[in-house]
């Protein structure tokens, strides 16, 4: 089922094989019809992760990149929408030479062609392909069929790993294996036989239950791997190794196991578990209140970035969510921001809760609470500064107020045309772009580099017409596009504020637990100083 940990399992298998010296390449398959994840509301599907190429994809790609500490190419991601679109477009262009185009064959071949493309691009020893969804549902069946064909064509080279949940019903208090046994049988009916079963549960699975599952699946007990709930997702690769997964995969492939080397990773885990001193961060935004979505999924990269930087500085981050509309209803609540060591405003879209966010930014600026704004957070930081320091009354972003008198955040010219013509999917300014940094700024001090490359996802920008005025009033644009047209980082000098900085890009898309992002490190450092001051 969703949320059971297939993404972390895939990332962890990748990590342990990489730790054994193999080149790995994780691939994510999503069964929905959206051509990419960019058009989906994060409340429904969680965060939209952006690759360096600009492809908007599932948050699991973020997990893979964070575990491996490197960027992945767009070939490593596919959706049902991408696959079908390609086949249908090709059919419309007479690309199938008059043949009857059918899901089973033409779609499965397209899936396998894409896997092949990823392999050509990344040249791995092992590809780890995650098929999203749940066994038994219709929408991922075509991918499982493609996987079955893959195994048929390369019997020695394909292993199936099934991630299954073993519930411990409250009243019964006993771990139940039947749902897993039934799921295995369902998978068998597709012609697929799992070689390894990852047994997800609240607690480690005991030997008796391992035996039960092994027996019903016709594999050895050692092929059932325990995956209990843990404190940190970064423990999973090490736990898997301890339960023998690395050796097992290599044995089943007939590859000679190389020595384990997760030394860096283990050092990082020591810091994860050793950090005791708390650092309190308020994340102020709007995607907080709805039915049953998992909040942390909406901002997973932001949360992980805060964790990575905190652990590196021996701090334990305590992240609290503040719904910005609270400040609109009750401005007195702003005072509560004093309880935090730092305030972060993540990316976002639209007008809901925006005035509350702007009030929070003002409060953090005036009360010298470390403040970090990401994308929309940076744009609203500029709006706040324009209104309250540069005296541009009611200045705004045209995204919220198209007819504002002072459009300090304006739509990028090239975006205007796209929106007018209804081209909405995959058309924002997306992915990695270079930027140059100004010396003697917080940004420069953090990166220690003249040139950087960061990932983007936006349609609006700081309006060039207001830059001189804002600079005159003390705002420093410490990072810009190489041609100087786009403002990429805005900050106040350290003399004015301990840390008041916003980025037009998303630094949270380029961080790993063993290599935290420099701006997040700088922010947490400032939060630590703030705590000491208090």
As a whole number of angstroms, the distance between CA 130 and CA 30 comes to 9
Q: Which residue's CB comes closest to ligand GLN?
A: 347
Among the options 506, 517, 522, 527, which is catalytic? Answer: 506
Six-digit token pair at 313? 């500085």
Six-digit token pair at 26? 């994780």
Min CB(218)–ligand GLN separation in Å: 49
Give the residue with the Cβ less far from ligand GLN, 399 or 454.
Answer: 399
Any idea which residue has 């976002």 for tokens?
Answer: 348
Give the residue with the Cβ less far from ligand GLN, 62 or 498.
Answer: 62
Give the residue with the Cβ less far from ligand GLN, 363 or 460.
Answer: 460
Min CB(36)–ligand GLN separation in Å: 15
Min CB(418)–ligand GLN separation in Å: 12
Min CB(413)–ligand GLN separation in Å: 13
As a whole number of angstroms, the distance between CA 196 and CA 223 comes to 5
Site string for ligand GLN, 325-364 (x = CB under 6 A): ----------------------xxx---------------
373 binds ligand GLN (CB under 6 A): no
User: Among positive and negative, which fits the CA dihedral 95, 99, 103, 109?
Assistant: negative
Decide if 301 contacts 506 (C-beta within 8 A). yes
460 binds ligand GLN (CB under 6 A): yes
457 binds ligand GLN (CB under 6 A): yes
Size of the site for ligand GLN (CB under 6 A): 11
Tell me whether residue 508 is one of the annotated catalytic residues.
yes
Give the residue with the Cβ less far from ligand GLN, 84 or 349.
Answer: 349
Site string for ligand GLN, 415-454 (x = CB under 6 A): ----------------------------------------
Decide if 59 contacts 46 (C-beta within 8 A). yes
Segment near ligand GLN (CB under 6 A); pick from 7-15, 418-426, 436-444, 455-463: 455-463
Q: Looking at 75, 399, 410, 488, which residue binds ligand GLN (CB under 6 A)?
A: 399
User: What are the backbone angles phi and psi of residue 488, rounded to the nearest 5°?
Assistant: -100, -30
Give the residue with the Cβ less far from ligand GLN, 311 or 376.
Answer: 376
Min CB(33)–ligand GLN separation in Å: 23
Among the options 223, 375, 454, 522, which is catalytic? Answer: 375
Give the residue with the Cβ less far from ligand GLN, 24 or 375.
Answer: 375
376 binds ligand GLN (CB under 6 A): yes
Any idea which residue has 């810091």 for tokens?
Answer: 271
Min CB(524)–ligand GLN separation in Å: 21
Decide if 415 contacts 463 (C-beta within 8 A). no
Most distant CA atoms of the chain, gap in Å: 75
Of residues 459, 454, 345, the one with CA closest to residue 399: 459
Segment near ligand GLN (CB under 6 A); pick from 227-235, 245-253, 353-361, 375-383: 375-383
Give the residue with the Cβ less far from ligand GLN, 132 or 377.
Answer: 377
81 binds ligand GLN (CB under 6 A): no
DSSP-based three-state secondary structure for 409: strand
294-321 burial string, b = 16+ CB within 10 Å, else e? ebebbbbbbbbbbbbbbbbbebbbebee
Q: Looking at 17, 375, 381, 490, which residue binds ligand GLN (CB under 6 A)?
A: 375
What does the DSSP 8-state code read for residue 99?
P
Min CB(349)–ligand GLN separation in Å: 4
Give the residue with the Cβ less far from ligand GLN, 376 or 500.
Answer: 376
Tell me whether residue 100 is one of the annotated catalytic residues.
no
Of residues 409, 413, 389, the one with CA closest to residue 400: 409
Min CB(28)–ligand GLN separation in Å: 21
Of residues 456, 447, 511, the one with CA closest to residue 481: 456
Six-digit token pair at 363? 């409060």
Q: Looking at 15, 106, 209, 458, which residue binds ligand GLN (CB under 6 A)?
A: 458
Name 229's Cβ contacts closer than 8 Å, sequence gap at least 6.
201, 202, 203
Give the residue with the Cβ less far from ligand GLN, 243 or 508.
Answer: 508
Six-digit token pair at 339? 């309880």
* CA within 13 Å, CB half, 83: 28
62 binds ligand GLN (CB under 6 A): no
Tell me whether residue 45 is one of the annotated catalytic residues.
no
As a whole number of angstroms, the distance between CA 515 and CA 496 comes to 29
Decide if 409 contacts 396 (C-beta within 8 A). yes
Walk across the sheet containing 77-79 and list its strands.
77-79, 24-30, 126-131
Of residues 286, 306, 289, 313, the one with CA closest to residue 380: 286
Min CB(514)–ligand GLN separation in Å: 26
Min CB(77)–ligand GLN separation in Å: 19
444-476 burial string, b = 16+ CB within 10 Å, else e? bebbeeeebebbbbbbbbbbeebbeebeeeebb
Give the residue with the Cβ less far from ligand GLN, 359 or 379.
Answer: 379
Decide if 489 contacts 502 (C-beta within 8 A). yes
- What's CA 293's distance to the chain center, in Å? 16
Residues acting as catalytic residues? 375, 506, 508
For ligand GLN, the binding residues (CB under 6 A) are 347-349, 375-376, 379, 399, 457-460
């Amino acid at each position: 089922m969703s949320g059971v940990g297939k993404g972390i399992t895939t990332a962890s298998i990748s990590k342990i094989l990489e730790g054994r010296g193999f080149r790995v390449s994780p691939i994510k398959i999503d069964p929905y019809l959206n051509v990419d994840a960019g058009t989906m509301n994060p409340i429904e599907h969680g965060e939209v992760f952006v690759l360096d190429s600009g492809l908007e994809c599932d948050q699991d790609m973020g997990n893979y990149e964070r575990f491996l500490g490197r960027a992945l190419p767009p070939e490593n991601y596919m959706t049902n929408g991408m696959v079908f679109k390609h086949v249908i477009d090709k059919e419309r262009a007479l690309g199938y030479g008059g043949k009857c185009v059918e899901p089973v064959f033409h779609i499965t071949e397209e899936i396998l062609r894409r896997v092949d493309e990823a392999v050509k691009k990344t040249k791995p020893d092992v590809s780890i392909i995650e098929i999203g969804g749940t066994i038994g549902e219709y929408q991922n069946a075509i991918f499982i069929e493609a996987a079955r064909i893959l195994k048929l064509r390369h019997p020695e080279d394909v292993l199936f790993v099934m991630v299954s949940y073993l519930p411990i019903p409250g009243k019964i208090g006993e771990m139940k294996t039947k749902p897993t046994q039934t799921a295995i049988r369902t998978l068998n009916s597709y012609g697929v036989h799992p070689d390894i079963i990852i047994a997800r549960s609240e607690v480690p699975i005991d030997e008796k239950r391992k035996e039960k599952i092994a027996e019903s699946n016709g594999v050895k007990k050692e092929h059932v791997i325990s995956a209990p709930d843990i404190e940190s997702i970064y423990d999973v690769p090490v736990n898997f190794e301890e339960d023998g997964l690395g050796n097992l995969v290599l044995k089943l492939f007939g590859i000679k196991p190389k020595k384990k080397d997760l030394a860096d990773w283990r050092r990082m885990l020591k810091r994860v578990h050793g950090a005791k001193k708390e650092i309190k961060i308020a994340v102020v935004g709007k995607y907080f209140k709805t039915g049953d979505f998992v909040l942390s999924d909406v901002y997973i990269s932001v949360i992980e970035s805060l964790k990575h930087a905190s652990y590196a500085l021996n701090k334990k981050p305590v992240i609290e969510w503040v719904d910005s509309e609270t400040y609109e209803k009750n401005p007195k609540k702003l005072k509560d921001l004093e309880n935090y060591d730092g305030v972060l405003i993540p990316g976002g879209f639209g007008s809901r809760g925006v005035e509350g966010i702007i009030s929070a930014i003002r409060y953090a600026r005036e009360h010298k609470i470390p403040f970090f704004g990401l994308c929309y957070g940076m744009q609203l930081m500029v709006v706040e500064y324009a209104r309250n320091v540069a005296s541009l009354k009611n200045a705004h972003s045209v995204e919220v107020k198209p007819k504002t008198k002072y459009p300090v955040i304006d739509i990028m010219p090239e975006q205007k045309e796209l929106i007018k013509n209804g081209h909405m999917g995959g058309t924002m300014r997306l992915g990695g772009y270079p930027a140059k940094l100004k010396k003697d700024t917080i940004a420069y001090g953090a990166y220690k580099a003249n040139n950087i490359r960061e990932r983007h996802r936006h349609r609006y920008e700081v309006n060039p017409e207001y830059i001189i005025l804002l600079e005159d009033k003390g705002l420093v644009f410490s990072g810009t596009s190489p041609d100087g047209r786009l403002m990429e980082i805005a900050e106040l000098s350290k003399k004015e504020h301990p840390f008041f900085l916003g980025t037009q890009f998303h630094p949270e898309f380029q961080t790993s637990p063993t290599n935290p992002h420099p701006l997040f490190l700088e922010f947490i450092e400032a939060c630590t100083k703030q705590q000491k001051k208090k």
